[in-house]
Chains A and B, each alone.
Chain A
Amino acid sequence: MPKVTETVVIAAAQPKVFEFVSDAKRAPTFVPGLNRISNLSTATPQVGRTWEFEFNWFGLTLSGNSECKRFEHPTLYQFQTLTGAKSTWTYRCESKGGQTQLTLEVEYDVPQNLLARFAAQPVLEKMNQNRARETVANLKVLLEG
């Protein structure tokens, strides 16, 4: 599966950063194109929590389900999109002298019919890389103020 990785250092404590990124309902505030999250199965983040998402993918609306796969406070949070084009999103938080190094890794599967219809693979990779970069940049802005 293709993979994109982005890292940013945030001037905030590791637990604060982890708790912010690991609550799926916050995601529309920092993930570009994510319209909404709904039908969360639990009030708090935990392994097995599921939710529905709706994503604006360059003018098309994609919707599907996701599930939290790993929740290791305050270091690692991972979820997978379960339907359609599958992807795995992993956030890693590492304390760096009072600041936090946040790494976002997105592994994604590209259905060939989607690829043929909308983009060549290198173009798609570039778009996903840009989206991951924007996501971590937005997190830095929101958490540092």
Chain B
Amino acid sequence: MKLRLFTHDARWVWRRQIHSEPGRLLQDMLVLHRQAVDWNGIFRESLEMMALNSVADNSGLRLENGAGEVSWQRHPCGTKISLRLERFSPQKQTLVAAALAKAARYYQPEEKVCPK
């Protein structure tokens, strides 16, 4: 086992959570990165991991049944990601937001299954 103080190849992510009204979670993330990132692939797969289906639109991904959306915009030093969640319980909204933030920080698109 390796023990380190820092994680190599993780992206820097700043999260800002805004609760505009009960039953809805709003969160912004600013992610620093130099190379292009496949956000569509990262977030679609992360949502699937939580058994949440999504469809792509012009700005990002929309969750099924109007449960929210995640969108992203290229920024000079990285990407600004906006998340809106509703219809789920507050606990589930918090978990989904945390999982997407974790994916934004750690998920590497090249991490695919390696057949033996």
Contact = CB atoms under 8 A, between A and B. Distances in A.
A43 B115 contact: yes
Interface string B33-76: 00000000000001001110000000000000000000000000
B5 interface: yes
A29 B95 contact: yes
B95 A142 contact: yes
B51 A54 contact: no
B6 A30 contact: no
Contacts of B46: 29
B116 interface: yes
Contacts of B115: 41-43
Contacts of A39: 111, 114
A28 B95 contact: no
Q: Label chain B's interface by main secondary structure.
A: loop
Interface string B2-14: 1111110010000
B5 A60 contact: yes
Contact of A42 (B92, B102, B111, B116): B116
Interface string A23-35: 0011011100001
A64 B1 contact: yes
A14 B2 CA distance: 36
B49 A36 contact: no
B91 A36 contact: no
A141 interface: yes
Given A35-B102, A35-B106, A84 B1 contact: yes
A61 interface: yes
B17 interface: no
B4 A60 contact: yes
Nearest to A36: B106
Given A39-B114, A63-B1, A30 B7 contact: no
A30 B10 CA distance: 20
Nearest to A50: B116
A138 B91 CA distance: 8
Given A35-B102, A35-B105, 6 more contacts: A35-B106, A36-B106, A40-B113, A40-B114, A61-B6, A85-B1
12 contacts: A20-B51, A35-B105, A38-B111, A40-B114, A42-B113, A54-B7, A60-B5, A64-B1, A141-B92, A142-B50, A142-B51, A143-B51
